[in-house]
């Protein structure tokens, strides 16, 4: 398309241009080869290379339409002529381009100065005297007029930087002539009051009068300045002190101007004082006038000045003191939320400002705190969200001292400037959860944006004691005297390597059993987790092994803990003494952590910090918990949950009771009575699946009768697990009055209710009352009863002994073995009524009653164990050690091999724990589902759960499958010989696959796929095989969609991918035993689904996640059985490869 444009290089002559034009048609001049593989319009190149006017005019005359052609940058020739190469073309070139294409004047330059109109770029050029050709100052004015006449509205349209054209021109070009301004006035520009512009820019009197003469009516029109008011030209003249001649001319043109109120009359003084560059504020008294005006005319603080700035912004620019800026902010709080002239929020000025003599740190912090408190994302009154400009997120994401101090300041205390009636200082810290979750314009939370410095400040308020993230929900447990809260310990991560080094006293880089005991207990682990040998073995462990085990069991992230807050100081002291004055093994008793001093926790409770206020308000009925705290590693389940949710059989109960008895034996070996053994005080940890004791606040030293510092049982109790000797019968009113007088001084209402006498009624008549032989304790002596006024004889108090715990163990064993309570009790394990206490009081006096109860235990050794423990006479109760050593329940021939089974169970449980973690990670995908998808899953959840809990034969149901047909009974060889005969594996000679042959089936697996041929009884599988493969592929595809992040489209993909698999009017849901991978074929299974097209797509994601977990545990053979195939197990190496 034409020849190269090489002739245009090097300022070509007119003769070359004529010759070029002569040799080419006009249409060729619209685009030619530029010699570099591109197409260029010659006119564009000539302008770009700054060719002479004559050459450009020749090209334009030969091809006028080229003036409308755009180059690769979407620029017109006019754009290049105005703003290109640092110079501007002459008037005749501009005029010729406009004549050829007038519309060019209204098109913004996409390159140039970033979107300006040609007129804008012409006015905004620097140095008019540097223009080429004869383009002097007058010529530049003519160019401006040419462009203005071609598109007058350019003068009224804002430039790219937001300013109007004449604001730039009149400010830079002070030599504008009167004649030029008269010419300007001839152009009709809608929306622009030129008189106001020249007055506002303080132009010369000649120019003002010339503009007024051209448009006298302008004197009566209001002019909109950068401030918020529209004012008359006369008002501007008065404010800017124009000459009397100008003022008189304006008044003559519009006599009514004197009668119109000047909106600046009450506010202009504030702006003048702030804006006057001659004002110097060196001393405090210099601000008196400024403060007085602000107080007199507070509305002035909300008015913008002539330069568009608010008074607060001016004060900040001039670094005026807090006494001035705070007054301006109080008068107009919105000023702190509006951007300043440079586009920053006021708080950003102080956050980004470095400390100097003019900007001291104290000033920066004070101002930042003031501005931050005025622009918080929540209300200080009730924490509800409110409109804000982002100051909170700016500060929270900054690591400067100014921002960090401001964040801490507003959380601690802040004067609410929006509430004129309040003089109180209160902090935003009480709304820390709402502030931490507050989102910015991009949807990011404040806590997620927080810098390290700000995060530490937030944690001081967000976390209990600056360390524990409380679970905002119902407490883990609550009694009359204590509350147990779950939390995450977000303190500094434990340095297990440093812990090892501290314990390695001999420096041999190994720890033996003795060294391990001390540090293992301190971090809450059992030393046996590190060394599996006997107590006498000389085993040791290296540093790497120690660190690895710690991380595996305790994790490398936040530690789950529970915080027990106790009302009674004596109970807290008993628990602390039991732990500190005895060597308690962490294998048997949950260790207390010493991360935070107890007095700091007490202070945090008093101040309701770290979310405690929400828990107290929502879940504790406004009743504050106690100030005395014990912190422990959180367990996974207590024995009450284990009993009800896992329903252990006799062998499992044997395993449980052995661990509990061993733990109690450990306490008794330390001469310590627990005093409150019950299901809630026994917990299990997944790290080793062991049971441990907690809650030693009822404990007491076991001292021989008559010994020094004799102690008693009953200072704290759960009456339903106490033996008969702990119950007192009250028969007379005098005894009742004496008892009530003894407890009258007790302030704790819950405790008074717990100890109050319980009436025993017979046929509606109160026959007696029963109480526990409890007592108050001496101040500072948690084990010493207050004997004065004791409502029973001193000798009636029951001394602390092993027999108390033995009875409680009997109650525990009875409950586990029968699923029933020995005595009717409430959820706190106190007797439900006086009648229940009556039964306990007379225990053992009616043999037929005992016989009925004990016969509920079907296992004979177990029944004997419970009968021995629940003997009325404390002296006849055996020791824990003797029972563990000799009792048939723990050493019965019937349970031979049980220990091995229990060990396998332990390993199995650990595997299941790992499996649950895997499934949990996959379930996180579902959390990302759209709201609609989540709702759809929730609607069908009850259907799934109903089916799962009906399958009583399956112990750990987490997986299910939906099939088109009922599965036939799978072939299950019963002996090893049959198993060996059933499978013959033949590898192909070329290594391309394997064949597996049986009497009923041949399965061939290659890279191309799987082929199966089933015979005999298995023939009915053949028809279902294709569908099974389709189901497997469909589930895989769903998982792919989830993994790829196509969450919102997942359900559409599900319905599409399985539409050909949903056939007929009924399908079948099978539950899968996770331990074996076999579908459950018990009574009641499978569950028919009568409307599969609605139900199946919603259940399929859950089905897929369950299969992922199943595949990790059962391998490929388990997955095959899941689909109903009786395939034998394959070698482990194959299974591992298949999983990978």
What pLDDT, in 10s, does the model give residues 735-775? 999 999 999 988 878 888 899 999 999 888 999 999 999 99
pLDDT on residue 102? 93
Segment 1086-1103 mean pLDDT: 63
Strands 592-593 and 628-633: antiparallel
Peptide bond into 403 cis (omega under 30): no
**Residue 57 burial (CB count, 10 A):** 17
Query: Which one has a higher pLDDT value, 212 or 364?
Result: 364
Tokens linked to 847:
């043999």
DSSP code per residue over 968-1009: PPPP---SHHHHHHH-EEEE-TTSSEEEEE-SSEEEEEETTE
Q: How far apart are alpha carbons 623 and 605 in whole angstroms?
A: 12
Segment 997-1017 mean pLDDT: 54
Torsional class of 1055: left (φ above 0), alpha (ψ -120 to 50), beta (otherwise): alpha
pLDDT on residue 982? 38
Segment 854-864 mean pLDDT: 93
Q: How far apart are alpha carbons 829 and 179 in whole angstroms?
A: 103
Nearest Cα neighbor of 270 from 231, 314, 329 is: 314
| Residue 949 scores a pLDDT above 70 | no
| Residue 430 scores a pLDDT above 90 | no
Tokens linked to 832:
């439900």
- Across the chain, mean pLDDT equals 76
Percent pLDDT > 70 in the chain is: 67
Cα of first residue to Cα of last residue in the chain, in angstroms, is 61
Most confident of 21-25, 233-237, 348-352, 579-583: 348-352
pLDDT on residue 966? 67
Chain center to CA of 15: 76
Structural contact between residues 273 and 290, judged by C-beta atoms closer than 8 angstroms? yes
**Residue 297 burial (CB count, 10 A):** 17
The pLDDT tens digits for 579-625 are 888 888 888 999 888 777 888 888 888 888 788 888 898 888 888 89
**Residue 745 burial (CB count, 10 A):** 9
| Residue 358 scores a pLDDT above 90 | no
Tokens linked to 564:
């027990």
Structural contact between residues 68 and 104, judged by C-beta atoms closer than 8 angstroms? yes
DSSP code per residue over 697-746: TT-EE---TT-TT--BS-SS--GGGS-GGGEEEE-SHHHHHHHHHHHTT-
**Weakest-pLDDT range from 209-213, 322-326, 1050-1054, 1097-1101:** 1050-1054
Burial category of 765 from C-beta neighbours within 10 Å (exposed 0-12, middle 13-18, buried 19 and up): exposed
Structural contact between residues 57 and 92, judged by C-beta atoms closer than 8 angstroms? yes
Query: Which one has a higher pLDDT value, 298 or 54?
Result: 54
| Residue 874 scores a pLDDT above 90 | yes
Structural contact between residues 365 and 371, judged by C-beta atoms closer than 8 angstroms? no
CB hemisphere CA count around 555 (13 angstroms): 12
pLDDT on residue 1102? 56
Which H/E stretch holds residue 684?
strand 682-685
Segment 688-695 mean pLDDT: 91
pLDDT on residue 766? 92
| Residue 782 scores a pLDDT above 90 | no
Q: How far apart are alpha carbons 457 and 244 in whole angstroms?
A: 62
| Residue 241 scores a pLDDT above 80 | no
Which H/E stretch holds residue 691?
strand 690-693
The pLDDT tens digits for 287-306 are 666 677 667 767 778 887 76
Helices 1092-1122 & 1050-1058 angle (0-180, nearest 10): 80
Tokens linked to 1081:
């074929």
| Residue 910 scores a pLDDT above 90 | no
- 798 DSSP 8-state letter: P
Beta strands in 836-946 (DSSP E): none
pLDDT on residue 1042? 45
Give the pLDDT band of residue 73 (cuts 50, 70, 90).
confident
pLDDT on residue 34? 65
Structural contact between residues 227 and 308, judged by C-beta atoms closer than 8 angstroms? yes
Strands 468-470 and 477-478: unpaired
User: What residues does 478 pair with on adjacent strands?
Assistant: 483
| Residue 812 scores a pLDDT above 90 | yes
Nearest Cα neighbor of 513 from 543, 537, 547, 487 is: 537
Percent pLDDT > 90 in the chain is: 27
The pLDDT tens digits for 173-199 are 445 667 777 777 777 665 557 777 777
- 334 DSSP 8-state letter: G
Cβ-based neighbours of 621, under 8 Å, separated by 6 or more: none
Segment 1020-1025 mean pLDDT: 51
Give the pLDDT band of residue 728 (cuts 50, 70, 90).
very high
CB hemisphere CA count around 914 (13 angstroms): 11
Chain center to CA of 1088: 41
The pLDDT tens digits for 492-542 are 667 788 888 888 878 888 888 777 777 776 676 777 777 764 455 567 888
**Residue 275 burial (CB count, 10 A):** 17
Query: Which one has a higher pLDDT value, 252 or 111?
Result: 252
Nearest Cα neighbor of 1093 from 1048, 1040, 1038, 1054 is: 1054
Nearest Cα neighbor of 44 from 16, 7, 14, 69 is: 69
Strands 765-772 and 727-730: antiparallel
Structural contact between residues 524 and 633, judged by C-beta atoms closer than 8 angstroms? yes
Chain center to CA of 1120: 40
pLDDT on residue 1089? 72
């Amino acid at each position: 398309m034409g020849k190269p444009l090489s002739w245009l290089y090097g300022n070509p002559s007119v003769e070359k241009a004529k010759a070029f034009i002569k040799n080419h048609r006009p249409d060729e001049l619209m685009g030619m080869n530029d010699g570099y593989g591109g197409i260029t319009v010659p006119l564009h190149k000539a302008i770009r290379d700054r060719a002479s006017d004559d050459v450009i005019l020749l090209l334009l005359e030969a091809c006028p339409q080229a003036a409308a052609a755009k180059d690769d940058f979407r620029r017109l020739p006019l754009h290049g002529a105005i703003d290109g190469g640092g110079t501007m073309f002459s008037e005749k070139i501009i005029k010729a381009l406009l004549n050829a294409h007038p519309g060019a004047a209204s098109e913004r330059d996409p390159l140039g100065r970033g979107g300006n109109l040609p007129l804008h770029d012409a006015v905004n050029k620097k140095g008019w005297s540097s223009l080429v050709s004869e383009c002097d100052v007058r010529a530049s004015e003519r160019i401006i007029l040419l462009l203005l006449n071609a598109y007058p509205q350019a003068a009224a349209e804002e430039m790219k930087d937001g300013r109007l054209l004449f604001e730039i021109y009149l400010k830079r070009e002070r030599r504008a002539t009167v004649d030029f301004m008269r010419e300007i006035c001839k152009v009709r520009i809608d929306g622009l009051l030129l008189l106001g512009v020249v007055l506002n820019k303080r132009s010369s009197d000649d120019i003002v009068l010339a503009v007024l003469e051209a448009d006298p009516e302008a004197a009566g029109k209001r002019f909109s300045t950068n401030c918020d008011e529209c004012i008359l030209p006369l008002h501007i003249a008065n404010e800017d002190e124009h000459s009397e001649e100008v003022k008189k001319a304006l008044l003559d043109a519009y006599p009514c101007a004197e009668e119109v109120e000047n909106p600046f009359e009450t506010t202009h003084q504030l702006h003048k004082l702030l804006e006057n560059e001659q004002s110097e504020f060196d001393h405090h008294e210099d601000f008196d006038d400024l403060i007085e005006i602000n107080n007199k005319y507070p509305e002035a603080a909300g008015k913008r000045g002539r330069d568009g700035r608010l008074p607060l912004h001016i004060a900040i620019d001039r670094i005026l003191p807090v006494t001035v800026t705070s007054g301006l902010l109080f008068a107009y709080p919105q000023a702190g939320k509006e951007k300043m002239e440079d586009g920053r929020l006021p708080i950003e000025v102080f956050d980004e400002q470095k400390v100097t003599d003019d900007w001291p740190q104290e000033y920066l912090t004070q101002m930042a705190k003031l501005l931050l408190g005025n622009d918080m994302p929540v209300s200080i009154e009730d924490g509800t969200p409110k409109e804000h400009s982002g100051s909170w997120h700016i500060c929270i994401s900054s690591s400067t001292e100014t921002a960090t101090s401001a964040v801490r300041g507003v959380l601690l205390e802040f004067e609410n400037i929006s509430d004129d009636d309040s003089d109180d200082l209160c902090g935003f810290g009480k709304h820390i959860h709402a502030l931490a979750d507050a989102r910015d314009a991009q949807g990011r939370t404040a806590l997620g944006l927080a810098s390290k410095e700000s995060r530490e400040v937030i944690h001081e308020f967000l976390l209990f004691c600056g360390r524990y993230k409380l679970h905002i929900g119902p407490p883990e447990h609550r009694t009359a005297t204590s509350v147990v809260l779950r939390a995450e310990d977000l303190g500094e991560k434990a340095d297990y390597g440093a812990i090892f080094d501290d314990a390695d006293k001999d420096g041999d880089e190994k720890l033996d059993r003795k060294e391990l005991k001390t540090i293992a207990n301190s971090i809450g682990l059992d030393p046996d987790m590190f060394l599996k040998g006997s107590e006498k073995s000389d085993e040791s462990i290296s540093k790497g092994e120690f660190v690895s085990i710690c991380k595996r069991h305790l994790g490398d992230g936040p530690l789950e803990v529970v915080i027990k807050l106790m009302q009674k100081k004596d109970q807290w002291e008993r628990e602390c003494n039991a732990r500190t004055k005895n060597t308690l093994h962490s294998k048997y008793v949950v260790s207390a952590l010493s991360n935070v001093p107890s007095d700091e926790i007490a202070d945090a409770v008093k101040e309701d910090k770290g979310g405690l206020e929400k828990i107290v308000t929502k879940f504790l009925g406004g009743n504050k918990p106690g100030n005395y705290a014990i912190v422990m590693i959180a367990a996974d389940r207590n024995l009450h949950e284990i009993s009800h949710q896992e329903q252990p059989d006799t062998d499992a109960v044997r395993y449980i009771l052995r661990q509990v008895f061993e733990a109690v034996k450990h306490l008794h070996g330390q001469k310590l009575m627990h005093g409150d053994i019950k299901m809630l005080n026994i917990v299990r940890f997944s790290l080793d699946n062991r049971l441990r004791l907690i809650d030693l606040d009822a404990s007491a030293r076991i001292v021989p009768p008559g010994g020094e510092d004799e102690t008693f049982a009953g200072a704290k109790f759960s009456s339903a697990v106490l033996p008969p000797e702990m119950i007192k019968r009250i028969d007379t009113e005098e005894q009742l009055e004496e008892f009530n007088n003894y407890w009258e001084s007790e302030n704790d209402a819950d405790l008074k209710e717990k100890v109050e006498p319980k009436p025993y009624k017979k046929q509606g008549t109160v026959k007696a009352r029963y109480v526990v032989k409890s007592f108050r304790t001496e101040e500072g002596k948690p084990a010493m009863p207050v004997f004065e006024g004791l409502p029973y004889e001193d000798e009636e108090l029951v001394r602390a002994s092993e027999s108390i715990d033995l009875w409680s163990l009997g109650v525990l064993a009875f409950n586990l073995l029968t699923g029933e309570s020995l005595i009717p009790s409430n959820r706190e394990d106190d007797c439900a009524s006086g009648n229940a206490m009556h039964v306990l009081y007379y225990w053992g006096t009616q043999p037929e009653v005992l016989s009925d109860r004990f016969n509920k235990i079907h296992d004979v050794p177990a029944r004997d164990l419970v009968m021995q423990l629940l003997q009325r006479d404390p002296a006849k109760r055996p020791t824990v050690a003797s029972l563990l050593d000799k009792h048939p329940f723990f050493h019965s021939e019937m349970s031979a091999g049980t220990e091995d089974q229990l060990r396998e169970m332990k390993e199995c449980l650990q595997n299941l724990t790992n499996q649950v973690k895997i499934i949990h990670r996959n379930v996180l995908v579902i959390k990302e589902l759209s709201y609609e998808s989540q709702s759809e899953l929730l609607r069908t959840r009850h259907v799934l759960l109903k089916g799962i809990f009906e399958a009583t034969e399956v112990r750990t149901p987490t997986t299910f499958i939906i099939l088109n047909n009922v599965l036939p009974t799978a072939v299950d060889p019963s002996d090893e010989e049959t198993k060996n005969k059933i499978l013959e594996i033949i590898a192909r000679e070329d290594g391309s696959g394997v064949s597996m042959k049986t009497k009923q089936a041949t399965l061939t697996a290659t890279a191309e796929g799987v082929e199966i041929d089933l015979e005999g009884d298995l023939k009915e599988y053949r028809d279902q095989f294709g569908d099974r493969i389709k189901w497997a592929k469909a589930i895989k595809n769903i998982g792919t969609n989830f993994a790829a992040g196509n969450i919102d489209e997942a359900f559409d993909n599900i319905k599409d991918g399985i539409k050909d698999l949903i056939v007929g009017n009924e399908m079948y849901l099978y539950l899968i035993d996770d331990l074996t991978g076999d579908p459950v074929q018990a009574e009641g299974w499978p569950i028919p689904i009568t409307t599969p097209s609605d139900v199946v797509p919603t259940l399929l994601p859950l089905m897929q996640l369950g299969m992922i977990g199943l595949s990790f545990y059962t391998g490929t053979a388990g997955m095959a059985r899941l689909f109903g195939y009786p395939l034998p197990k394959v070698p482990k190496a194959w299974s591992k490869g298949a999983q990978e």
